[in-house]
């Protein structure tokens, strides 16, 4: 592992573990979670947000907040602009989902080649 990546994981895991109520918020299986990530990059250089999300999910797992990143069933990612004079940051919110999340799917019937309500 590249040294800078290792340092990032160490810092991310320490930040997660120092969050308020970390001990009572740990989510073992079968708990499903929603993860929202707001990223403030270090520069205005273009970047692919998808490449930034997996390490965040891995850090949540390595910190012990979630048991496995396959528990992430929903989420949102926001890429913000660099803050002038500010440091790069990831603001992460983890919410527990109801046990039945994703279980009930409803099919909307098509009427005359159009979905009802169009």
Model confidence pLDDT, tens digit, residues 12-21:
999 999 998 8
Q: Domain containing 72 — which CATH number?
A: 3.30.1330.70
Domain annotation covers residue 112: no
- Is residue 46 in a domain? yes
7-22 b/e with 16+ CB inside 10 Å = b? eebeebbeebeeeeee
Is there a domain that residue 83 lies in? yes
Residue 28 domain flag: yes
Better-scored residue on pLDDT, 79 or 111: 79
- Mean pLDDT in residue range 60-85: 93
Specify which residues 34 forms β-bridges with.
74, 95
Rg (CA), the chain: 18
Number of domains in the chain: 1
User: 17: domain range?
Assistant: 3-98
Residue 34 covered by a domain? yes
Q: Do the domain assignments include residue 44?
A: yes
Could you tell me which of 19, 37, 45, 21 has the C-alpha nearest to residue 75?
37
Q: Token digits for 3?
A: 């040294």
Q: Give the chain's mean pLDDT.
A: 88
pLDDT in tens, 92-101: 999 999 988 8
Examine residue 114 and state whether it is found in any structural domain, yes or no: no
- Would you say residue 106 has pLDDT above 80? no
Look up the pTM and report it: 0.80
Query: Tokens for 90?
Result: 């990831």
Do 28 and 84 contact (CB within 8 A), yes or no?
no
- Reported confidence tier of residue 116, pLDDT bands at 50, 70, 90: low
- Give the number of other CB atoms < 10 A from CB of residue 66: 25
């Amino acid at each position: 592992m590249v040294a800078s990546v290792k340092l990032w994981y160490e810092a991310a895991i320490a930040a997660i573990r120092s969050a308020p109520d970390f001990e009572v918020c740990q989510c073992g299986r079968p708990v499903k979670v929603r993860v929202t990530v707001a990223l403030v990059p270090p520069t205005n250089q273009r970047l692919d947000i998808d490449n930034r999300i997996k390490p965040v999910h891995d850090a949540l797992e390595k910190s012990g907040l979630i048991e496995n990143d396959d528990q992430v069933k929903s989420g949102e990612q926001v890429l913000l602009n660099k803050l002038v004079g500010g440091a790069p940051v990831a603001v992460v919110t983890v919410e527990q989902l109801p046990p039945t999340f994703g279980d009930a799917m409803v099919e909307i019937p098509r009427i005359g080649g159009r979905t009802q309500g169009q």
